[in-house]
Amino acid sequence: MRWLAASTTVLALFAQGVAADTFRFTAIPDEDQSRLVERFSKVADYLEERLDVEVEYVPVKSYGATVTAFRNDQVQLAWFGGLSGVQARRLVPGSVAVAQGSEDAEFKSYLIAHRSTGLERAEELSDAIEDMSLTFGSRTSTSGRLMPEHFLRQRFGEAPDELFSRVGFSGDHSRTIALVEAGTWDLGAVNFSVWEAAVADGRVDTDKVEVIWATPPYPDYNWTLRGDVDERFGEGFTEKVRAALLEMDDPELLASFPREGFIPADNALYAPIEDVAEELGLLR
């Protein structure tokens, strides 16, 4: 099991001239760090066996740090959300989305509410949410901010800070759930798969917080690979990585994402995410 403790460690190692034949990957920190280390250390072991090179998982502390690590070639592969993947590919020309989860072609977000709001699940968002408080996840999360904000604007014709009494950013989906459950925020926007996994594991008190609405579907998470890996790791390496991801079938590995499997992806699939991000001014 190989992983590096922090992005600062990565910088130090690169300054010392770590061998270029170590293949490194990272992932957006959409849940708490201990769960991420557990799940992606196992992925590192799997990739090392399949690719026949040393593989290290590099944990980072924010969505922005994930994109920065990819841009700076501190990692060559990343498990991105839809928006962070678009950002990274724009910064590193030639980079490609090589795979997505089988659920990611039609992903969705949930709006959750504390029971004290009196809100119940409905097909359309209730006018009653106006002037309540709402927390998103990370500022650059596709499922925790970008697409929920897009659909809220479509429904109400207002920006979130005009619609709600308070708007915040929790940093990740698990924290959003915990804050709404505690009553710190009336409402929260979360990734549906993180919510469902947390409920299944008994990590959510559904007597205190519940789903009140699901967004329409959109494309989301993806594995994105730098375009220069064939030069560094040998001809055909891109296809070896793609095949390793698409053929990942260990139920324990897949359950930790959680995904039923991985399917092919390409950059064009994420054009709708890029368009919405441009609309909201989230791309430089």
Question: How many domains would you assign to the chain?
Answer: 2
Please check whether residue 188 lies inside any domain of the structure. Answer: yes
- Going by C-beta distance under 8 Å and a sequence separation of 6 or more, which residues neighbour residue 183? 114, 116, 208
Does one domain contain both 201 and 149?
Answer: yes
Residue 179's pLDDT is: 98
Please check whether residue 15 lies inside any domain of the structure. Answer: no
Please check whether residue 159 lies inside any domain of the structure. Answer: yes
pLDDT in tens, 160-217: 999 999 999 999 999 999 999 999 999 999 999 999 999 999 999 999 999 999 999 9
Residue 37's pLDDT is: 81
Does one domain contain both 69 and 160?
Answer: no
Q: What is the mean pLDDT of residues 36-48?
A: 89
CB contact at 8 A, 172 and 29: yes
Q: Which range is least confidently modeled, 8-17, 46-55, 204-213, 229-238?
A: 8-17
Residue 178's pLDDT is: 97
Please check whether residue 152 lies inside any domain of the structure. Answer: yes
Residue 284's pLDDT is: 67
Q: Which of 183, 114, 150, 120 is nearest to 276 (CA)?
A: 150
Q: Which range is least confidently modeled, 21-25, 60-64, 73-77, 265-269?
A: 60-64
Domain limit, last residue, from 195, 214, 233 = 214
What is the DSSP pairing of strand 187-191 with strand 22-27? Answer: unpaired
Does one domain contain both 113 and 101?
Answer: no
Q: What is the CATH number of the domain that holds 96?
A: 3.40.190.10
Does one domain contain both 101 and 113?
Answer: no
What's the mean pLDDT when you consider all of the chain? 90
Does one domain contain both 118 and 193?
Answer: yes
d(CA 84, CA 221): 9
Q: Which of 193, 195, 161 is nearest to 176 (CA)?
A: 195
Q: How far, in whole angstroms, is CA 21 from its chain's centroid?
A: 27
Kindly indicate the confidence band of residue 19, based on its pLDDT and cuts at 50, 70 and 90: very low
Does one domain contain both 97 and 37?
Answer: yes
Please check whether residue 18 lies inside any domain of the structure. Answer: no
Domain limit, last residue, from 214, 247, 272 = 214
Give percent above pLDDT 90 in the chain: 81
Domain with 261, as residue range(s), is 23-105+219-280
Q: What is the mean pLDDT of residues 137-163?
A: 95
User: CA-based angle 151:157:160, to the nearest 5?
Assistant: 65
Please check whether residue 49 lies inside any domain of the structure. Answer: yes
Domain limit, last residue, from 214, 241, 271 = 214
Does one domain contain both 124 and 162?
Answer: yes
